[in-house]
Amino acid sequence: MRNLFNAYRVLAIVVGVLLAFCSLVALPLKYLAAEGGSLQQFGESASIMWAVHGWAFMIYFVVAFFLSRKAGWSVGFTIVALAAGLIPLLIFWVEHRVTQRMRVEHPELAAAA
């Protein structure tokens, strides 16, 4: 479970950063920056990161699902953890909650900080 937990944390950060970049940087630039300007162009090209986020999310989803089964999370908490990969910034908080929870419920993982 330790490997799964560590993989979960890394993926959560990766997905979170990608999603934050896409939704808070690329998206506003693409639609709000001056049409045809270099910032707008950058936003346009950076949109490919959505696909990267999608694939990272796919892996995150599977890992989070298996972790939830192993750690015995409730259905509600599992759904929040899975959906967090789609809502900007939420995942950082969820990752924090999951880490806290894992440390309490599975003290043997404490060393995995």
Report the nearest approach of other proteins to the CB of residue 112 (Å): 26
Of residues 2 and 69, the one with the C-beta less far from other proteins:
69
Report the nearest approach of other proteins to the CB of residue 52 (Å): 8
For 3, 41, 56, 64, 110, the CA distances from 11, given in Å and listed in that order, are: 12, 29, 7, 9, 19
| Whether the Cβ atoms of residue 11 and residue 63 lie closer than 8 Å to each other | yes
- Number of residues that this document lists for the chain: 113
Which residue type is seen at 59?
Answer: I
DSSP 90-106: HHHHHHHHHHHHHHHH-
Binding site for other proteins (CB under 8 A): 47-48, 50-51, 54-55, 58, 61-62, 65
Report the nearest approach of other proteins to the CB of residue 90 (Å): 19
Of residues 48 and 87, the one with the C-beta less far from other proteins:
48
Of residues 62 and 89, the one with the C-beta less far from other proteins:
62
